A and B are shown apart, each in its own frame.
Chain A
Amino acid sequence: MTTFTKIPAYIEDVLEKQHGTTSRRDFLKTSGLLVVSVSASAIAGPLAAASQAAGPYPDPDFRQLDSWIVIHEDNTATFFVGKTDCGQGTGTAFRQMMSDELDIAYDKTTCIMGSTDITVDQGGSGGSDAIQTDGWPMRRVAAEARRVLLDMGSARFGVPIDQLAVSAAVITVKADPSRRVTYGQLIGGKRFNVALTGNNIDATTGVAKVKPVQELKIVGQSPRRYDIPAKVDGSQKWAVDVKLPGMVHARNVKPPFAGAKLISIDESSVRRMPGFIKVVSKGNYVAVVCEREEQAINASRQLKASWEKPATAPFPSSEDLFTYMRGSTPTSSSNPNVVGNPDAALAGAARVIEAEYEVPFQGHTAIGPAHATADPSNGQMTIYSNDMKSYGMRTGVAAFLGMPRDHVRVVWMEGPQGYGRTAADDAGCEAAYLAREIGRPVRVQWMRDEETAWDTKAPAFTVKLRGGLDAEGNLVAFDYNARAADYNHLGYNESDTVLIAQLMGSRRARPAAGSAATPSEMYVIPNRRIATQVVSLPLVWETPLRVGNLRDPNGPQSTFASESFIDELAAAAKVDPLAFRLKLLTASTTDDTGFKRARSIAVVKAAAEAYGWDVRPSPKTFSAGGAGNILTGRGLSYTFRSQTVVAQIAEVEVNRQTGHVWVKRLVCAHDCGLVINPEALRRTIEGGMLHSLSRALHEEVQFDTEKVTSVNWRSSPTLTHADAPATVDIVLVNGDPNPNRPDLPHYGAGEAICKPLIAAVANAVYDATGVRLRRIPFRDGRVLAALKAAGV
């Protein structure tokens, strides 16, 4: 074992802010987090481990309690977890869960996340698994710390544990409360030295069991997010704010055409510019490095380089995209998931409804472009980054540069909008490469056009659907066939697929297969077929249409199609859309393992009740001539995703003169099991719904046959304040711990929110106008054309 001696300055700031006078030296003396998994067998002494066998940044050992929890002498605690908080308040939730299990007041704790050298590797963030999966080892290790402390209290007082009480980090003898000792008095300044078990980090556990839900006191409350004050008073230090001695600035020069090959660079075009240091180039990767930021921007724009266009077009234009996708031979096809005999059921159906839905590529278009700062000093590499999967970045940078992993660390800091873009961050590898080339710390940041054109994209989809109704209007067959342009789906800073590696010529022999999502609900339909294919665009590498994970990857595309089509079937059957869904959910109760369908019914009903749903078929009856310019309607949509249930209702106003759609009201009923922080969850639901609303109304990557042409906030519009609903109502169906379910688990909350919203809006527009919108985004011009074509 070795002792870590370099605490990042920003973490020192956090600790000093929290603990007042706690100095770095005191912290190091008292902290036990610095237990790392180094084999000591061949090493003479603990200090030798750091200097000889291991690099400066070995992995923290997740099987040591000291790696997770430090109790300080002032009876406060610091939690070290391997996650990152993208702004949904997961850090606050981790503190709540761990404080509860440890029996310490929430405001006596801090949480440090995602820095690879001092926090165990829980993978960072993604997939809404922070609370659902990673929350469990956090709870268990905190419970174990409490057990160990009670053991120590028992020894100190000579009293059995069951005769001790513990509250707010103070242990008292029940029979004589004057006999008391604090956690800080017991272990502050010392290590636990307690080994944990578990085959992997998710399974990490001690001896202690977690508390039943009824005994949780901090979980279920809504302490305010600890990260917000610094974000509104200007004191927050973000990854973009890092300043290091000797630091220089870099900007990339991207190929002007997709698939272009660099022929030559005329360095004399920038050599005399102020602050110029170097043009760094390898393969098709080009960057300019200057002393000051604005100098690097200017020089990157001035640099003269000649590029050769590819012999064939890299992709069809965005106007021709869906035709191209339909005509492509798939790169892979899934084995269809078949229930019953859908072909026979469709052949025998009284009515068959068919429809095809289209979703264009949509970008992350983060409010702040990709950025990172890398420090190459002392033969190591430190990357300051907002990468939500900082551990993957560390591994990727080490492999990309050919450095030992234990010489590389990523210090995670706050940044703009995770949602998957920063799981596939590009700037970390670029900054590290440039820092090594220059021999000084380098800060690199992408420009707006670069980010909007070249960030990772959610894949385009086409979805063909067929449904069969019997003579009574029952849904007897459902045939879903989705096709996604998801070939070569990007991983998490893989050293051979990160963009800088691609531009330098790296080609993986077998690109990632990708996938197309399937419907995610609990409907009972006797005959169904779910089939998916993946197609590729002509240009596979070095393309600005790189596909990657975007918040609930591929879920919004798939659910837009499937939940819109359910509405089409309800309309064809002339049945109220709520009643139609409830009929599909209540058709069987015998196979409802885990109450998935029962919970779905409860959530759908909760949304309808909160909205004040008026039972009638869609569309609403309106008079083509006399209804005025504003048509109103309501639409419902629902999903079951990885144990979380969401039902949403949108109320829209459609302006028949302009085609403008305003979602005036949104209702969301949400069941993610045990809720850790209800207010933070409500904010996450609000943001997630509006994110999907932006995808419904505005977002589309546009391109010609050479390059992406939607490159800034004019050509790539997003939701604005003008689009905000007047009312958002949220029902947390399991908002409080349920005394009847002491084992109530906590499920992932965030991504499920994004799935149903687009269909809810489309269904509301149909209800208002009788016009079915089967292609997003619902921009004014497209809606107006559809209204006019239908004579509305």
Chain B
Amino acid sequence: MSTITLKVNGATHTVDVEPLTPLLYVLRNDLGLQGPRFGCGLGQCGACTVIINGVATRSCITPTSAVKDEITTLEGIAKDGKLHPLQQAWIDEQVPQCGFCQNGQIMTAKALLDRNPHPTDAQIRQGMAGTLCRCMTYYRIQAAIKRAAQVVA
């Protein structure tokens, strides 16, 4: 075990874990941030996505000790009590079915819009392609991203 300091959603935390522990378990089990969820543990589905340095990052395959920059989780993207435009669009479009994957959908979409505020349909499909939903809400997710892009712009 070793002491690791993490900055998450503006707050600093110190945890005592094995350095190679995937970040996902530290966020969920030590810091109580349960927006990111275990889907595959292989970096293939996206349910565990957080944003580090502007990049949508699969926390299930990211060693905790490798994280040097601030981590943003789903719990951290609302500002001043107001939902992020993507979260609001997700509600307005009534996107989720079971909702289990939607952390990854929203966080991946946020990283996408942060670097490209006006994505084309093709860019949305490509940018989101690795983030899986087994309730298959893809059509509605894409509508919500387009809706949010109008607000963010």
Residues of A within 8 A of B (CB): 86-88, 224-225, 227-229, 231-238, 240-241, 243, 274, 292-294, 297, 365-369, 414-418, 445, 447-448, 679-680, 683-684, 686-687, 690-691, 693-694, 712-714, 718-726, 728
Chain A to chain B contacts (Cβ below 8 Å), 21 pairs? A228-B90, A231-B102, A234-B33, A234-B73, A235-B75, A236-B99, A240-B37, A274-B1, A293-B28, A294-B17, A367-B45, A368-B39, A415-B100, A417-B97, A447-B41, A683-B95, A690-B136, A690-B139, A694-B136, A720-B129, A726-B121
Q: Which residue of B lies closest to A721 (CB)?
A: B128
Q: Are A448 and B41 in contact (CB under 8 A)?
A: yes
Chain B residues with CB below 8 A from A369, complex form:
38-39
- A87 vs B134: C-alpha distance when bound (angstroms): 12
Distance of A281 Cα from B139 Cα, bound (Å): 45
Q: Is the CB of A686 within 8 A of B41?
A: no
Q: A232-B83, A293-B28, A368-B39 are in contact. List 8 more A-B contacts (CB 8 A).
A: A231-B99, A416-B100, A448-B44, A687-B97, A691-B135, A712-B44, A713-B42, A720-B130
Nearest Cβ distance between residue B112 and chain A, in whole angstroms? 11
Which residues of chain B are near A227, meaning CB under 8 Å? Answer: 99
User: What is the size, in residues, of chain B's interface with A at 8 Å between Cβ atoms?
Assistant: 58
CA distance A454 to B2 in the complex (A): 36
Known A241-B34, A679-B94; contact A719-B73, beta-carbon cutoff 8 A: no
Which A residues lie within 8 Å of B34 (CB)?
Answer: 234, 237-238, 240-241
A27-B108 Cα distance, complex, nearest whole Å: 41
User: Is B87 an interface residue, CB under 8 A from the partner?
Assistant: yes
* Interface contact B136-A691, CB-CB below 8 Å: yes
Q: How far is the CB of A734 from chain B (nearest CB, A)?
A: 21
In the bound complex, how far is the Cα of B137 from the Cα of A729, in angstroms? 15
Q: Which 10 A-B residue pairings sit nearest by Cβ, starting from the closest?
A: A690-B136, A231-B99, A87-B98, A87-B97, A234-B35, A416-B100, A724-B138, A234-B74, A234-B75, A713-B44
C-alpha gap A370/B26 in the complex (Å):
21
Any A CB within 8 A of the CB of B12? no
| Contact across chains for B91 and A229 when beta carbons are under 8 A apart | yes
Task: Give Cα distance in the complex from A722 to B37, angstroms.
Answer: 23
Contact with A225, one of B17, B94, B125 (Cβ below 8 angstroms): B94
Contact between B74 and A233, CB atoms less than 8 A apart: yes
Contacts of A232 in B (CB 8 A): 74, 83, 87, 90-91, 95-96, 99, 102, 106
CB distance from A295 to the nearest CB of B (A): 8
Q: Which residues of B contact A (CB under 8 A)?
A: 1, 17-18, 21-22, 25, 28-29, 33-35, 37-42, 44-45, 47, 73-75, 78, 83, 87, 90-91, 94-103, 106, 121, 124-126, 128-142
What residues of chain B lie closer than 8 Å to A231, measured between beta carbons?
A: 96, 99, 102
Question: Which single member of A235, A683, A723 contacts B94 (CB below 8 Å)?
Answer: A683
If A722-B125, A728-B139 touch, whether A87 touches B96 (CB-CB below 8 Å) is: yes
Of A225, A235, A687, most buried by chain B (CB within 10 Å of CB) is: A687
A224 to B88, alpha carbons, bound, how many Å? 13
Contacts of A447 in B (CB 8 A): 41
Complex CA gap A725/B139 in Å reads: 7
When C-beta atoms are compared, the residue in chain B nearest to A724 turns out to be: B138
Which residues on the B side are within 8 Å of A448 (C-beta)? Answer: 39-42, 44
In angstroms, Cα B87 to Cα A667, docked, is 28
CB proximity of B34 to chain A, nearest CB, Å: 5
Across the interface, A234 reaches (CB within 8 A) one of B44, B103, B132, namely B103
Contact assessment for B1 and A417 in the assembled complex, using a CB-CB cutoff below 8 Å: no
Tell me if B's interface is mostly helix, strand, loop or mixed: loop
Closest Cβ–Cβ distance, residue A227 to chain B (whole Å): 7
CB distance from A783 to the nearest CB of B (A): 20
For the complex, what is the distance from the CA of A297 to the CA of B18, rounded to whole Å? 13
Q: How far is the CA of A145 from the CA of B5 in the complex (A)?
A: 56
Q: Residue B18 contacts which of A225, A240, A294, A690 (CB distance < 8 angstroms)?
A: A294
Contacts of B74 in A (CB 8 A): 232-234
Interface contact B87-A721, CB-CB below 8 Å: no
Q: How far is the CB of B92 from chain A (nearest CB, A)?
A: 9
Residues of chain A within 8 A (CB-CB) of B142 are: 721, 724
Taking CB atoms, residues of chain A closer than 8 Å to B44 are 448, 712-714
Give the distance in Å from the alpha carbon of A229 to the alpha carbon of B128 in the complex.
22
Contact of B129 among A88, A445, A694, A721 (CB under 8 A): A721
A691 to B134, CA, bound (A): 7
A292's contact among B25, B33, B47, by CB below 8 Å, is which? B25
A691 proximity list for chain B (CB < 8 A)? 134-136
In the assembled complex, the Cα of A228 lies from the Cα of B92 at a distance in Å of: 10
Q: Which among A88, A231, A722 has the greatest number of chain B C-beta atoms within 10 A?
A: A231
Q: A233, A367, A418: which contacts B87 (Cβ < 8 A)?
A: A233
Residues on the B chain within 8 Å of A414, using CB: 98-100
State whether A719 and B38 are in contact (beta carbons under 8 Å apart), knowing that A416-B98, A683-B97 are contacts in the complex: no
Cα of A274 to Cα of B95 in the assembled complex, Å? 41
**In the bound complex, what is the Cα–Cα distance between A227 and B94 (angstroms)?**
10
C-alpha spacing A234/B50, complex, angstroms? 12
Partner of B132 from A225, A292, A718 at Cβ < 8 Å: A718
> Could you tell me the distance between the alpha carbons of A241 and B42 in the complex, rounded to whole angstroms?
20
Give Cα A86–Cα B98 distance, bound, in whole angstroms.
6
Contacts of B25 in A (CB 8 A): 292-294
Within the complex, the shortest CB–CB distance from A712 to chain B, in Å, comes to: 6
- Measured in the bound complex, the distance between the Cα atoms of B140 and A297 in whole Å is 35
Shortest Cβ distance from A691 into B: residue: B136
A719 close to B99 (CB less than 8 A): no
CA distance A710 to B76 in the complex (A): 36
Q: How far is the CA of A564 from the CA of B74 in the complex (A)?
A: 44
Q: Given A238-B34, A448-B41, A725-B139, do A368 and B94 touch, yes or no (CB 8 Å)?
A: no
Which residue on chain A has the smallest CB distance to residue B73?
A234
Interchain CB contact under 8 A, A367 and B101? yes
CA distance A690 to B138 in the complex (A): 8
A100 to B37, CA, bound (A): 37
**CB-based nearest A residue for B90:** A232
Distance (whole angstroms) from the CB of A556 to the closest CB of chain B: 14
**Which residues of B sit under 8 angstroms from A243, Cβ to Cβ?**
29
A240 touching B134 by the CB < 8 A rule? no
Residue of B nearest to A719 (CB): B136
